[in-house]
Amino acid sequence: MHAKTTQPKDPNLYNGDVLNVHDPKANGKKMYIESYGCQMNFSDSEIVASILADAGYSTTNDLKHADLVLVNTCSIREKAEQTVRNRLEQFNSVKKSNPKLKVGVLGCMAERLKSKFLEEEKIVDLVAGPDAYKDLPSLVKEVEEGRDAVNVILSKEETYGDIRPVRLQSNGVTAFVSITRGCDNMCTFCVVPFTRGRERSRDPKSIIKEINDLAEKGYKEVTLLGQNVDSYLWYGGGPKKDFRKASDLQKKTAITFDKLLDMVAIEQPKMRFRFSTSNPQDMTSDVLYVMQKHKNICNYIHLPVQSGSDRVLEAMNRQHTRAEYIELIDHIRAILPDCGISQDMISGFPNETEEDHQDTLSLMDYVKYDFGFMFMYSERPGTPAAKKLEDNIPESVKKRRLQEVVAKQQQHGLYRTQQFVGKTVEVLIEKESKKSSEHWSGRNQQNTVVVFPKENFTVGDFVNVKIESCTSATLIGKAV
């Protein structure tokens, strides 16, 4: 079970978007892609679409027309894995009436469960991990010739920086650009280091090239994406872990995240930039001052904390204390007074006491997050927590604590949106409002959703909107 406020989609969780696009290079074969999990998975699906387009596959949103079904999976929570399993069972039912249909699993579940899908459960034909997408054309060929295919080898170098992603189900306005892959942080509850491998950064030249390409196509906003963007480091190709072996010249000319952020903001001054996700122990003042310097870098930081208790943070191996996190929050508020801040929070981590839970609630009271993404602890096989800690908090206690965290966040979300009433904010129109065909929907700098009457505006316009009212998640106003 998980809960979240009704804010923009979680930087770490997506919920089964079907991706579709037609590529004119394709010659008749069609694939159907579903993506679950994080924004990185969504971005990876665009890379997969590009790689397989070159191999002759267009994508379709009609399962009946598909020759190949690919499910890009998430292992971050048990519920996400179960959702994928249910979908695979449904696809296997479709295969009974269409024996030529082939089904493949991509992403973190593919990496975690490896050949189990093929050998034990026999519910898929193809398995490819997050670093094996360039091998997909040969894997698909193996499947087409009647053989099962698997590649889940993790890479220390692969960043897909040379692949131009196919933008899937795009609004033509906002896009993700991946700048790092993998993670070195080893939080005890997290499977990412095991399913996505060690952290590596992408060549900044390829990042800027992709952003310039998006600008030429009319995109207005880019989110720089990574499991931990603040640890981005490039010094001519050397892995992050070998930076101590770099020459003095390499160290002097190294590009850190603040420098990359400065570069992209200068390169495309009319484009708006966001980034996700930040880890508290890696965020520097330099990043905050670059945000302060450039008006086209949004005043919004997703800053997961997971718990307000030092004892739980240590058990999670979070590499920061409650006091250090609060000091960072104070620093952000001093440099960027109107910065929106969101959180990730886990309720019911092993051995969490009622006092630990109250520490989390009091931290929330201190920060008053704009919105957040809140979950009950879900034990993930293979993680340090699963190996060393008993999942010993009763389900009923987890649910009650989560409900209290969610209620607290809703209270704080309303407090934050109320601060905008009477003010004018700049909004980038992204789409029609879900609730009214007469209104546009977009986001302000702080990542809060804003809806307002359409008038003569269109998707992709930047509009100044005076806020007249609000809910705990949405601002409502009129263009001025």
d(CA 256, CA 274): 16
**Three-class secondary structure assignment of 143-157:** HHCCCCEEECCCCCC
Residue 467's beta-bridge partner residues?
477
Confidence of residue 242 (pLDDT cuts 50, 70, 90): low
Name which of 189, 194, 30 is nearest 107 in CA terms: 194
Name which of 39, 180, 196 is nearest 109 in CA terms: 196
- Inter-residue contact 43 to 74 (CB < 8 Å): no
Query: What average pLDDT does range 86-97 have in this prediction?
Result: 88
Query: What average pLDDT does range 78-101 have in this prediction?
Result: 87
Confidence of residue 97 (pLDDT cuts 50, 70, 90): confident
CATH of domain 2-151: 3.40.50.12160
User: How many alpha carbons lie under 13 Å from residue 294 in its C-beta half-sphere?
Assistant: 26
Confidence of residue 402 (pLDDT cuts 50, 70, 90): very high
Q: What are phi and psi of 2, to 5 degrees?
A: -145, 165
Confidence of residue 25 (pLDDT cuts 50, 70, 90): very low
User: How many alpha carbons lie under 13 Å from residue 420 in its C-beta half-sphere?
Assistant: 34
Return the CATH superfamily for domain 174-416.
Answer: tm_1862 like domain (3.80.30.20)
18-22, 130-134, 335-339: which has the minimum mean pLDDT? 18-22
pLDDT at 19 over 90: no
pLDDT at 239 over 70: no
pLDDT single digits (tens) 124-174: 899 999 999 999 999 999 998 888 899 999 998 899 999 999 888 789 999
pLDDT at 241 over 90: no
pLDDT single digits (tens) 243-273: 666 677 777 789 999 999 999 999 999 999 9
Name which of 2, 10, 80 is nearest 40 in CA terms: 10
Asked if 2-151 and 424-479 have one fold, the answer is no
The percent of residues in the chain predicted with pLDDT above 90, rounded, is 73
Beta 371-376 vs 2-4: how paired, if at all?
Answer: antiparallel
Query: What average pLDDT does range 323-347 have in this prediction?
Result: 98
What's the whole-model pTM score? 0.89
Distances (CA, A) of 335 to 287, 304, 347, 387, 471: 11, 19, 31, 41, 27
d(CA 86, CA 92): 10
Domain ranges of the chain: 2-151, 174-416, 424-479
Confidence of residue 179 (pLDDT cuts 50, 70, 90): very high
pLDDT at 345 over 60: yes
Query: What average pLDDT does range 99-116 have in this prediction?
Result: 87
48-57, 188-197, 249-258, 263-272: which has the minimum mean pLDDT? 249-258
Average pLDDT, the chain: 90
DSSP-derived secondary structure letter, 102: E
Confidence of residue 240 (pLDDT cuts 50, 70, 90): low
pLDDT at 334 over 80: yes
Query: What average pLDDT does range 391-415 have in this prediction?
Result: 98
User: How many alpha carbons lie under 13 Å from residue 291 in its C-beta half-sphere?
Assistant: 27
Q: What is the pLDDT of residue 113?
A: 83
Query: What average pLDDT does range 325-345 have in this prediction?
Result: 98
d(CA 265, CA 271): 8
Residue 45's beta-bridge partner residues?
none
Residue 242's beta-bridge partner residues?
none
Name which of 18, 45, 38 is nearest 80 in CA terms: 38
Q: What is the pLDDT of residue 243?
A: 62
- Which residue shows structure tokens 């904390």? 305
Query: What average pLDDT does range 299-309 have in this prediction?
Result: 98
Q: What is the pLDDT of residue 104?
A: 93
Q: What is the pLDDT of residue 24?
A: 42
Query: What average pLDDT does range 26-49 have in this prediction?
Result: 87
pLDDT at 27 over 70: no
Q: What is the pLDDT of residue 103?
A: 93
Q: What is the pLDDT of residue 291?
A: 98
Q: What is the pLDDT of residue 116?
A: 78
CATH pick for 424-479 out of 2.40.50.140, 3.30.70.100, 2.30.140.10, 3.40.50.720? 2.40.50.140
Question: DSSP readout, 120-189?
Answer: II---SEEE-TT-GGGHHHHHHHHHTT--EEE----SS---TT--PPPPS--SSEEEEE-EES-----TT
pLDDT single digits (tens) 415-471: 999 999 999 999 999 999 999 999 999 999 999 999 999 999 999 999 999 999 999
pLDDT single digits (tens) 347-391: 999 999 999 999 999 999 999 999 999 999 999 988 999 999 999
Cis peptide before 277 (omega within 30 of 0): yes
Q: Each residue of 38-76: b (16+ CB within 10 Å) or e?
A: bbbbbbbbbbbbbbbbebebbbbbebeebbbbbbbbbbb
- Inter-residue contact 467 to 425 (CB < 8 Å): yes
